Amino acid sequence: MSIDTAFTHFPVLTTSRLHLRQIRPEDAEAFFAIKSDQDVADSYAQAPHQTLDDTRALIQRIQGYYDQRDSIFWSITLQGEDTLIGACSLWNFDSDFNCAEIGYELHQAYWGRGVMSEALSAILTCGFTELALHRIEATPYARNTRSSTLLLKLGFTLEGTLRQRHFYHGHFDDQLYFGLLEDEWVKAAR
């Protein structure tokens, strides 16, 4: 699959426990349960959604970003079930589609179960082997230690700290910069 194919035929991914598919309007209530959770929202320094309409509008924007070739956004579901429990994306592609950023969020009920590690592994494999990306980046906030730990476990390298990069809840937060190269992922997968 090429990047062109990924933007004409959504790349559905399957792992031993998970099914990653395109987000749909009917995911709004399950996605709202994640987006309205203060702890989840704090992890990426955004205000939680206040209404289901906030989430519906976000889903429409996500679908538009895909149509514009700006991001590929997966809903995470458990195998055999169709309820969204989390989401992952490749977005912020460079102009030649050699580099992208990865983003992710998960319902708190599934934290600590290896769900995100499994989902991101599938997306990284797709990004490097199917979409021919050379580099994938992640930029969590320093206080989000769960995210940093996950990225290091997946083989990302902490490349720097953007000091006091973002203002949220009355104070400035550092943002971390992680990177993973295609040859590092392929080598680790062997």
Domains of the chain, start order: 3-189 (3.40.630.30)
* Six token digits for residue 16: 């031993």
Angstrom distances, CA of residue 112 to CA of 1, 21, 64, 107, 150: 32, 22, 32, 11, 10
pLDDT band for 14, please (50, 70, 90 cuts).
very high
Model pTM greater than 0.85?
yes
- For 102-137, the pLDDT digits (tens) are 999 999 999 999 999 999 999 999 999 999 999 999
Tell me which DSSP letter residue 47 carries.
Answer: P
Contacts of 43 (CB under 8 A, 6+ apart): 105, 140, 141, 144, 146, 147
The DSSP bridge partners found for residue 21 are 75
Alpha-carbon distance of 158 to 176, in angstroms, equals 7
Q: Fill in the DSSP letter of residue 16.
A: S
DSSP 131: S
d(CA 44, CA 30): 19
CA–CA separation, 44 and 3 (whole Å): 27
pLDDT digits (tens, 9 = 90+) for 43-76: 777 888 999 999 999 999 999 999 999 999 999 9
Closest CA relative to residue 6, chosen from 93, 121, 134, 83: 93
Radius of gyration of the chain (CA): 16
What is the average per-residue pLDDT within 159-172?
Answer: 87
